[in-house]
Amino acid sequence: MGCFTFLKIPQVMSYLHSVCGTSNKESEFSSEMVEAFEKLLQSAPLLDVVDTKNSCNSIISLIEPLVKLNVMSEAHLSYFRQKRETKDAKLQKLEPTGLQGSVPSFITCAEPTLAGILKTMGGDFHKTQESLYAMLCQIVGGTTLDTILAVATVEGKLKLFVSRLIKFNEFALFAASEKGAPQTKVYIFDISFLLLCSIVQDYGANAVLDENGDSFFEKWVRECMVHKGVHKSPEQILQKCEPQLVDVFIHHLSAPEFDFKNTNMKPHDLCMNVSGAIKEILFAWEQGSLSASDVKRMLDSLRHKMASLAVCASVWLCSYINVVHQDAFLKPINMVQQFLSPPSDAELSQNDNFKERATLMCQIIRKMQYDIHPPSVPKSKALVLTHNIISRQPILEQLQSVWEDIKSRGYLHIDATHIIENLLNTTGPVWFVTNLVRETLKFRYQEDLDRSVDIVLAMFHLDIGKCTEALLLHVLPQYLYNAKLCEDLVEPQSAVLAKLSVYSIYAALESSNINKAHISRKRRHDDSEEMDAMCSSNKMRRLNDNTSDGSGMYYSQGHGNSDIVLREPLLSALDTLYTSFSQLAGKNGEVTPQTHFILQFLVYVVQCGQDRTPFVLQKMPSELVPTLIKALPDSFNISLILRLYDLSTAYGRKDTARDLCLLRNMRLRPDL
């Protein structure tokens, strides 16, 4: 993003100015551009975030290339620098980014580095192989690689970079295959192969490779590599192996001192046949023919000789994990994890640049492993992996696809939970909740709606606090104020939306108090009981019964409320929602779908909450209930009114008496 911002945007601005811009009467400089930056200065919070993130004055970093392109002047540069100078000094002291310079300076340094690499790779590899190998190891060792690739992408040179790197890899392959070739030739093949794997993972094979490329790497990607959700059958990968070479491979790998030179196998033969060898090792381990220490020694030997062999072996292991029964996961996953273990001091000292190659190898294998088997992420930690959704399918279609699967099963299964969690982490709670509510309200039968509420509530529990906040502040206002969406507030959909809202509120309330209390391991048992109570639909469906026996309560009487506190952001969200209710309940003196929804919401709050009800209703405006009684007197009874207020307070008793009198008077009216 930084490369696009500081390299491409100035060029786009210059082009727009040359095509349709107007110049100042006294010069050739763009008056519109100056006005645009003046408006941008008004967005101080946005600029503060961008400047802090990039460790620079972003406006100046954009204007400097515009000055060189004669779109703006030096005077403008000085003017805007002065405008942000004091602010930038404070921001840099407030939140250092850890970078040894600004993002634009990194990009500026990466441009000539990229040009140098492309020039070197365009020459005679016989003369430049050693210097090119050192250069590639150097950029892998730091943060330079990502920057160089980003610059290459913005400048439209990524495919050129990859094509030349493939040629270099092919050269290294033939050089390492020659009789008596030094080990450094193998390392050159190794680093170039790993770089290509990493690029394909990040950018996709279609974006960087020719469709019918005939190089070894391109063929290997098409036939074997797992990338961007493109999975291969483990049997398909094994079909590329030659049984005789696999036998030779295993024989030498079993020796205490493995050296692939003794096998007379070329690097590409090793890469293609390592899958067969790793399969035999796994099966022998599962049958007890090999011990765990034997397997560890063999895997370390593979990684030690060529890091790319560990990647090729992990391709088959991950493909195998993708299709095997869950009970057989443990050993293949442990083998992948062994490749990811930190290298020993002996490995680092014996191999040239092994640290750089091992770092790149681990990144590739981790991404591959995540593609196949996404880990569960604690709610308290942000998902920091580079790609949350492994699919080329539009994200809404992904949600609809998994929703159809869940709907056909009638429950939320573990595979769907992985996908749903990734969707939530990728899109955020607002998009997530909005579309789940939309899918829920498509049902027409009560049984389907009730089951849908239970399933959606289970999905919300992936982050119940954020999902509830999104529901109250963003989704419900859309259905209450948007004339188009208001058409969905009919029965039974209106009651279901109210039910889902109330369930979510009480679940978020309970969750926030459990987390705050730091309950011990005993909480696991308690949580399961609370979840049973939350999802007990046979109790929930009695909400239309306005009796006061409390049989349809959301929580049992046994829960004490002495330590329950309604915390932010749920407190503010409810305050905002009740304000909206006050505006809509008696709008123009008419009974609207919104009026019925608000009443249903309050009924569910009372029926589900029991001793939690006062906490949820504490922000309810006192005029809301009288307005509803005047509009819908037949929907109220004494029991409901008594439970809408906290009778332990004077204000609660006063409001209750007022509403009971109002209800009596409304019922005594002749027209009723």
The rounded distance, in Å, linking the Cα atoms of 419 and 624 is 41
Range from 180-194, 455-469, 645-659 that averages highest in pLDDT: 455-469
Using alpha carbons, select from 557, 671, 530 the residue that is nearest to residue 612: 557
pLDDT-derived band of residue 545, with 50, 70 and 90 as boundaries? Answer: very low
Q: Answer whether residue 41 is part of any domain.
A: yes
- Longest CA span, the chain: 109
Q: At what angle do helices 58-68 and 44-54 cross, to 10 degrees?
A: 80
Judged by DSSP in three states, 30 sits in: strand
Cβ burial, residue 344 (10 Å; 0-12/13-18/19+): exposed
* CA R_g for the chain: 32
Q: With 80 as the cut, is the pLDDT of residue 141 above it? A: no
Do both 245 and 367 map to the same domain?
yes
* Dihedral sign, Cα of residue 538, residue 543, residue 545, residue 548: positive
pTM, two decimals, is 0.54
Compute the mean pLDDT over every residue in the chain, rounded to the nearest whole number.
79
Residue at 584 is within a domain: no
Q: What angle do CA 406, 411, 417 make, to 5 degrees?
A: 65
Give the residue from 201, 223, 245 where a domain finishes: 223
Same domain, 81 and 126: no
Euclidean distance between CA atoms 355 and 344, whole angstroms: 10
118 with 148: CB under 8 angstroms?
A: no
Looking at per-residue confidence, does 181 or 195 come out higher? 195
Mean pLDDT, residues 58-76: 82
Residues 6 or more apart from 38 whose CB is under 8 A from it? none
Two structure tokens written together for 303: 């990684």
DSSP 472: I
Question: Which three-class secondary structure state does DSSP give residue 95?
Answer: coil
> Strands (DSSP E) along 508-660, which ranges?
none
> pLDDT tens across 105-139, in order?
667 677 788 888 888 888 888 888 888 888 888 88
- Start-end of H helices in 123-242: 125-141, 144-154, 158-177, 183-203, 205-208, 216-223, 234-238
Q: Which residues contact 579 (CB under 8 A, 6 or more apart)?
A: 621
Sign of the dihedral through C-alpha 386, 200, 315, 361 = negative
Task: Answer whether residue 627 is part of any domain.
Answer: no
Using DSSP, state whether 227 is helix, strand or coil.
strand
Express each pLDDT in 225-263 by its tens digit. 887 667 788 898 999 899 999 998 888 888 766 666 666
At residue 230, the 3 state secondary structure works out as: strand
Q: How many domains does the chain have?
A: 4
Place of tokens 């005993």: 522
CA torsion 582-588-592-594 (nearest 10°) is -20
- The whole-angstrom separation of Cα 130 and Cα 659 is 88
For residue 63, which amino acid is it? Answer: I
Please tell me what DSSP assigns to residue 474.
I
Cα–Cα–Cα angle for 51, 53, 81, rounded to 5 degrees: 15
Residues 324, 258, single domain; the answer is yes
Mark whether 34 and 72 lie in a shared domain: yes
For residue 166, the cross-strand partners are none
The answer to which of 89-98, 125-134, 553-562, 591-600 has the lowest mean pLDDT is 553-562
Residue with tokens 């779109």: 71
Tell me, yes or no, whether 669 lies in a domain: no
* pLDDT for position 538: 37
Is residue 644, in this structure, part of any structural domain at all?
no
Question: 484 lies in a domain?
Answer: yes
CA-wise closest residue to 604 among 665, 542, 557: 542
Tell me which residue of 260, 334, 262, 258 sits closest to 296, measured CA to CA.
334
For 23, phi then psi, to 5°, come to -105, 155
Q: What percent of the chain has pLDDT over 70?
A: 82
Note whether residue 560 is domain-resident: no
Q: Is 245:324 a contact under the CB 8 Å cutoff?
A: no
**Residue 551 DSSP one-character state:** T
User: Is the CB of residue 414 less than 8 Å from the CB of residue 408?
Assistant: no
Other Cβ atoms within 10 Å of 669 Cβ, number? 8
Indicate whether 165 pLDDT > 60: yes
Same-domain status, 8 and 84: yes
Same domain (yes/no): 406, 537: yes
Q: How many CA atoms lie within 13 A of 509 on its CB side?
A: 28
**Phi, psi of 213, rounded to the nearest 5 degrees:** -60, 140
42-51, 197-206, 386-395, 553-562 — most confident range: 197-206
**Which conformational region is residue 156 in: left (phi greater than 0), alpha (psi within -120 to 50 degrees), or beta?**
left
Report whether 361 contacts 311 (CB < 8 A).
yes
**Residue 384's pLDDT is what?**
37
Paired residues of 230 in beta bridges: 227
For residues 95 and 110, state if they share a domain: no
Residues 246 and 212 in one domain: no
Residue 283 confidence (pLDDT): 93
Q: How far is CA 616 from the centre of its chain?
A: 32
Rounded Cα distance, 505 and 499, in Å: 10
The domain containing residue 83 runs over which residues?
A: 2-101
Give the SS3 label for residue 23: strand
Q: Are residues 63 and 142 in the same domain?
A: no
CA separation for the pair 572, 574 (Å, rounded): 5
**pLDDT score, position 561:** 53
pLDDT for 524: 41
Bridge partner list, 12: none
The answer, yes or no, to whether residue 185 has pLDDT greater than 80, is yes
Residue 23, strand partner residues:
30
Does the structure show a pLDDT above 50 at 643?
A: yes
CB 455 within 8 A of CB 496: no
Last residue of a domain, one of 494, 513, 541: 541
Q: For 436-457, what is each residue's pLDDT tens digit?
A: 999 999 988 888 899 999 999 9
Same domain? For 329 and 346 the reply is yes
Same domain, 94 and 109: no
Residue 200, pLDDT > 50, answer yes
Q: Are 614 and 601 in contact (CB under 8 A)?
A: no
**Helices vs strands, H then E, count in the chain:** 36, 0
- Of 356, 372, 388, the residue that ends a domain is 372
Q: Would you call the peptide bond into 569 cis, given omega within 30 degrees of 0 as the criterion? A: yes
- Residue 203, in any domain of the structure: yes
**Predicted confidence (pLDDT) at residue 460 exceeds the cutoff of 90:** yes
Please answer whether residues 313 and 276 qualify as being in contact, where contact means their C-beta atoms are separated by less than 8 angstroms. Answer: no
DSSP state, residue 4? I
Question: Can you give 262-318 as a three-state secondary structure string?
Answer: HHCCCHHHHHHHHHHHHHHHHHHHHCCCCCHHHHHHHHHHHHHHCHHHHHHHHHHHH
- Tell whether 518 and 472 lie within a shared domain: yes
| CB within 8 Å of 56: residues ≥ 6 apart | 88, 102, 103, 104, 105
